[in-house]
Structure 1
Amino acid sequence: MSRRTLLRGAAVGAGAVALPSLLAACSGGPSGVTMGSNASDAVPKKAFAEAFKAYEKKSKKTVRVNTVNHENFQENINRYLQGTPDDVFMWFAGNRMQYFAQKGLLSDISDLWRDFDGFTDALKKQSTGLDGKQYLVPYYYYPWAVFHRKSVFRDKGYDVPKTFDQYRALAKQMQKDGLVPFAFGDKDGWPAMGTFDYLNMRANGYDFHIALLRGQKSWNSPQVKQVFDLWRGLLPYHQKGANGRTWQEAAQTLAQKKAGMTVLGLPHPGQQFSAADREDLDFFPFPEIDPAHGQDAVEAPIDGFLMSKKAKDREGAKDLLTYLATPQAEDVYLKSDPNNIAVNSGADTAAYTPLQKKAVQLVSGAKQISQFLDRDTRPDFASTVLIQAIQQFLNRPDDIDGLVNDIERQKKQIFSAT
């Protein structure tokens, strides 16, 4: 999945070029509610097809799924919603949803939420616009953590690090043992954001992190400089040339036992492991930096479904969304895609893999949950400033002052604009 295009699509205006297939999504064809899908990868595409098939069998209604390449869907999302969108479409919680709700491109589904069951207050908050109305049906989440292979840790005698000093010492030992300590690829511009988020939340706390991304804290503050300085100290243990490597290529080196660790989301490394090797995949929470903040915060993005403002079959859309909010709908999906976690408390977790069960424990024990850097800030700031800034840092990590001063200058321009 590429967030570079996701962010670009969220930030551009009505003049963006849109794919004909997107704009024509609702122009005629057989009856039934239409679904705009960005699930173009084989595993999630099959899993969603099973979920929609279960709905059709139950409701005797039809779902017309319009699947578009994931990157193209994200790149054209703004124009898509302003053109002739599908009745329902896949998107993201938090700021990613609030951005389009503020622009009047989503339908209020607060009436449906009054009858929803199994969603926590935190999930409801992530599905709520700045106007206090609900717009999203959450479907699954996936935590970010430090992934590794059990067999490598066992064979090398490595202990799971709890503190940042232990983390750095482990990386140093892995390097001595001939391993690349951190598999790392940032060609798409977003994977490195997970490392930044954890360093910031562990060093400065969740509240500072969120305030920073909302433009309420200075990027050239001592706190942010510390984050980049901590990261700079880890870079010698990262794969070189990260800006030219995809996250898939990085995760493959973990699967091949060439790298010892990687910071990614739950679905990412597992997709690069063979079925026979998947049970060897494990993770640990990002280590503590400041005891005052411990390991309290967990990065766990939430994905779900929204109804477009221009939905033609509004009743059909609401009926489908009501079904997708049930634990049964999540059970069907996760049977084919075990790389995510159901959000509904009524979902059947008996078939969860050990990794999924561990992910549930990680998130349920968190005191704060973040949505990921590009979902917790303005899309234009993330796409036009932060992607380039982080990639610049990875190429030239020694000019931290110049880097943060430049970010702060651009932040003021963007956040002062309407």
Structure 2
Amino acid sequence: MAQVSFDGSAVPGGRVSRRSLLRGAAAGAGAVALPAVLAACGSGPGGDGRTIRLGSNSSDPVPKKAFAAAFAAYEKQSKEGRKVKVNTVDHNTFQENINRYLQGKPDDVFMWFAGYRMQFFAKKGLLHDISDIWGSYEGFSPALKAQSTGEDGKQYLTPYYYYPWAVFHRRSVFEERGYQAPGTLDEYIALARQMQKDKLVPIAFCDKDGWPAMGTFDYINMRTNGYEFHRRLMAGEEAWTSNEVRQVFDTWRSLLPYCQPAANGRTWQEAATSLQKKQAGMAVFGLPHPGQQFPEEEQDDIDFFPFPVINPEHGQDAVEAPIDGFLLAKKSKSLKQDKVMESAKDLLKWLSTGEAEDIYLAGDPNNIAVSDRADTSKYTALQKKAVELVSGAKQISQFLDRDTRPDFSSVVMIPAIQSFINDPKDVDGLVNGIERQKKTIFAAD
């Protein structure tokens, strides 16, 4: 496989639901009450050093089963008899409580994200440096290494897979109705209007969990203003009151009549299911989201097209393709034992191999391997198309809540976007409020 160039810059971000925000704006700082299920997953000293405790946020059935297969394969090949004890927590619960988890009694290894979200916790001293084993990794591009590197130049993440965002639909629905994939915003709206006439909800839409609608914002922004503006905006270097940002919300407002109503009360699983049931015609999602809600016999019916062109100057240059992987928690008590640390690093080294990615992707074809040592010969048509999408991109973004500060993402942007979805008329009030809070938060450092 041709190596994908992950050259988008990343900034810290965190996914926190509105439920957490209502418990207190300090959610971004980790002041949320930690659920017993997550608190109970912490590790402690003892044991023979061969058991690795791993915190997983892959709670949906498809990835959960695929990871189980990968970890079982690791145990089988381990000459030392090492075992992986997995603690799986609901995806959003894991996200909401990641600060408290890492500062409390975390597992030895845990799943998390590349780029700034990883850098944020590394800077806080909550991650173990794994630079010593990164030197033995093969098949990763320099850009992937950069996405796994902290501000101090050390590596903290073992990348495992990525997944692009696009506009997903059912191939059979498009064929039956004679729909054509739109290339421009005008064509996108025209298609949405036709779907309404055909008694379909044009765009499945959701934001109950606080992050799904961010993908739509990012694409409208990058298609309108370009990747560099997106990067500067996420870094606090551009004003949210600018004409560029106002135009993003104005464009988004023109699309809302074609979106499922009451999006703030709908989970991504429910939105993806409406696509699967042919109730909705399209959905802006990441590759795993529709795949995990479609039964196996319907997987071949999933298709996508790139988010349409808005400003020809920027075309479809940028693609959102978040990278996920594995890290070592600094406050894991058992990692203080040399044998446990050795076992944990051994697991990470194995997870960095093409073989490990092949085993996982055999059970979850809704992601793409990051290693060029992985076997792509068995990729589905959808996976091959996803590789082409990312390989052809001029810039790669990591998603809004991964491309900015966690406190700004959780405390400001989640409620702001949900407020916009509920009442999209007052764009002036919306951007003024975001800008005021942005100045306060970014000035804190």
TM-score band, normalised by the shorter chain? over 0.9
What is the distance in 1 between the residues matched to 2:284 and 2:361? 23
Choose which of 247, 250, 255 in structure 2 pairs with 1:226: 247
Within 5 A, what are the aligned runs for 1:209-288? Answer: 209-288=230-309
What is the distance in 2 between the residues matched to 1:29 and 1:172? 63
SS at match of 1:182: strand
Is 1:3 paired with 2:15?
yes
CA contact (8 A) 1:10 1:78 kept: no
What is the distance in 2 between the residues matched to 1:15 and 1:147? 36
Within 5 A, what are the aligned runs for 1:7-406? Answer: 11-13=27-29, 15-24=31-40, 25-28=42-45, 30-31=47-48, 32-59=51-78, 60-310=81-331, 311-312=335-336, 313-406=340-433
SS at match of 1:181: strand
SS at match of 2:324: strand
SS at match of 1:346: coil
Q: Structure 2-normalised TM-score?
A: 0.90
What is the distance in 2 between the residues matched to 1:291 and 1:399? 28
Task: Answer 1 or 2: higher relative contact order, Cα 8 Å, separation at least 6.
Answer: 2
User: Which AA in structure 2 matches 1:300?
Assistant: A
Change in Cα spacing, 1:105 to 1:10, as seen in structure 2 (3 Å) is farther
Query: In the TM superposition, what is the alpha-carbon distance from 1:15 to its structure 2 partner?
Result: 4.6
CA contact (8 A) 2:60 2:292 kept: no
What is the distance in 2 between the residues matched to 1:141 and 1:202? 21
Query: In the TM superposition, what is the alpha-carbon distance from 1:354 to its structure 2 partner?
Result: 0.9
Deviates more, 1:169-178 or 1:374-383: 169-178
What is the distance in 2 between the residues matched to 1:362 and 1:231? 23
What is the distance in 1 between the residues matched to 2:275 and 2:355? 34
What is the distance in 1 between the residues matched to 2:439 and 2:199? 45
Query: In the TM superposition, what is the alpha-carbon distance from 1:20 to its structure 2 partner?
Result: 4.5
Query: In the TM superposition, what is the alpha-carbon distance from 1:16 to its structure 2 partner?
Result: 4.0
What is the distance in 1 between the residues matched to 2:94 and 2:266? 22
What is the distance in 1 between the residues matched to 2:294 and 2:39? 36
Is 1:414 paired with 2:441?
yes
SS at match of 2:111: strand
Structure 1 residue ranges without an equivalent (≥5): none
CA contact (8 A) 1:183 1:238 kept: yes
CA contact (8 A) 1:16 1:79 kept: yes
SS at match of 2:296: coil
SS at match of 1:304: strand
CA contact (8 A) 2:207 2:265 kept: yes
Query: In the TM superposition, what is the alpha-carbon distance from 1:195 to its structure 2 partner?
Result: 0.4
Backbone CA RMSD of aligned residues? 1.9
SS at match of 1:3: coil
Q: Structure 1-normalised TM-score?
A: 0.95
What is the distance in 2 between the residues matched to 1:132 and 1:10? 29
Deviations 1:312-352 (A, max 9, x none): 32221111111111111111111111111111111111221
Structure 2 residue ranges without an equivalent (≥5): 1-13
SS at match of 2:160: strand
